[in-house]
Structure 1
Amino acid sequence: MLKNEKAVVVFSGGQDSTTCLFWALKLFREVEAVTFDYGQRHSLEIECAKGIAAELGVQLTVLDMSLLGQLTQNALTRTDIPIVHVEGELPSTFVDGRNHLFLSFAAVLAKGVGARHLVTGVCETDFSGYPDCRDAFVKSLNVTLNLAMDYEFVIHTPLMWIDKAQTWQMADELGAFDFVRERTLTCYNGIIGDGCGECPACKLRRAGMESYLHMRGEAGDSQASGMEGQE
């Protein structure tokens, strides 16, 4: 059914949104992507998104959201604010209103290009304390957008209930494991691929990858042992 539909992916060029882009390309007839320039720490993020979209043949729109960076004080838009994740507190990398505004603007774009499906890589399992990554928020906004625009959107969150290891597994099953590992930018310090290895985003990404590779290795060993027994 979805093969006859069009989708817009909220796209940053990171691990999660790139995995979602591959997911959307498999499920939908036509896919576009939208990236936001909100004064983030690394303009390389936008260049990375442009490069990936071009390689995959996906139409990419970059929207100027620099006003958001002027309104909030956080470590993603201010280099003088340290990146700190303290359990029980909002991380310093939380950008107030970001996903709310991104999805709202993506919806306006989607309606303009005739798409009823929005895809975002938010995740409640590994959401790092970000309130706008929660399923309740996405469902609430979905209803609000439909009412506000009198248009039947569906917001898809393919990563919502899976952890980083399972996200790597999804990328692998989509044939995109190496692409995601080598081409995406997750690192808060702006290093493409495996990143700096020290920031919270890199640690979460690497822990998930190592966990998945360990599981994949055990599965491979088990399969090989079973085949040996049949010989």
Structure 2
Amino acid sequence: MLKNEKALVVFSGGQDSTTCLFWALREFREVEAVTFDYGQLHRQEIECAEKIAGELGVKWTRLDMSLLGQLTQNALTRNDIPISHEEGALPSTFVEGRNHLFLSFAAVLAKGIGARHLVTGVCETDFSGYPDCRDAFIKSLNVTLNLAMDHPFVIHTPLMWIDKAETWKLADDLGAFDFIRERTLTCYNGILGDGCGTCPACKLRRAGMETYLERRNAAQDALSAGAAPAGPREEAQ
């Protein structure tokens, strides 16, 4: 039973990882969160993660991964690289090795705190082609970590097969829709909540939210129509 076990959430303070944090709080007895400082330009991301963890009463750890920012050239750690995504190429926001290293370091921390469950918000549905968001990679790394550390880790990916609209639905099902919309930071320009509205992350987030809200409103309208009281029965002729 997961309710009797402990989990560590890889946590950035964004929509996906915050949804995963709420999911973990529902599924596990005890939950901690870890945020990685890899030299990202927008320090608000780390501040946001710490604040959310505090509000939810989750023990939070920040790990210094600044070396990763020094090794890679991408738009999230370098202000001289524009955010772009050309056909047939990875977006300039891709950080080489990020999920691989994050999960590996998270595993070391998890073993030390007595947790065998790792939770991450990667997915294949809205992944922009990032190779380290694929299910095959996660399964492979799970086996590698278990062998390397002789520990029965389980990597959970609640969002792996759902798109952004379904991620918003999950947040709503968890009672966290408004919290995630207002307090998380997904924007590549470092703007909280609905963000700048123009960067790729904001566009994807907003499109998913609008799709979900349309579906939710349609379902509510259909339910209301079906529950409407019937009119007076016509008298028999």
Q: Does TM, scored on the shorter chain, surpass 0.5?
A: yes
Which residue number in structure 1 is paired with residue 100 of structure 2? 100
Q: What does 1:79-228 correspond to in 2, within 5 Å?
A: 79-228=79-228
Distance in 2 of aligned mates of 1:213 and 1:87: 30
Distance 1:51 1:215 in 2: 31
1:13 is matched with 13
Helix, strand or coil: the match of 1:61? strand
What does 1:47-86 correspond to in 2, within 5 Å?
A: 47-86=47-86
Equivalent position amino acid for 1:115 in 2: A
Q: Distance in 1 between matches of 2:173 and 2:96?
A: 34
| TM-score normalised per structure 1 | 0.99
Task: Indicate the SS of the match to 2:228.
Answer: helix
Rounded to whole Å, the distance in 2 between the matches of 1:229 and 1:59 is 50
Task: Provide the TM-score with structure 2 as the length reference.
Answer: 0.96
- 1:30 equivalent in structure 2: 30
In 2 relative to 1, CA 230–155 (structure 1 residues): closer, same or farther, beyond 3 Å?
A: farther
Distance (whole Å) between structure 1 residues aligned to residue 14 and residue 79 of structure 2: 20
**Tell me, which stretches of 5 or more residues in structure 1 are unaligned?**
none
Q: How far, CA to CA, are the matches of 1:219 and 1:100 in structure 2?
A: 40
SS at match of 1:22: helix
Q: Following the alignment from structure 1 to structure 2, what is the Cα–Cα distance between the partners of residues 50 and 85?
A: 30
Provide the rounded CA distance (Å) in 2 between the counterparts of 1:111 and 1:42: 30
Percent identical across equivalent pairs?
81
In structure 2, C-alpha distance between the alignment counterparts of 1:23 and 1:87, rounded to whole Å:
34
Measure the CA separation in 1 of the matches of 2:87 and 2:23: 31
Amino acid of the structure 1 residue aligned with 2:164: K
For 2:54 and 2:150, how far apart are their aligned partners in 1? 32
Letter in 2 for 1:127: F
Larger Cα Rg: Structure 1 or Structure 2?
A: 2
Unaligned runs of 5+ in 2: 232-237
User: Closer, same or farther in 2 for the Cα pair 1:37/1:224, shift >3 Å?
Assistant: same
Tell me how many residue pairs correspond in the alignment: 231
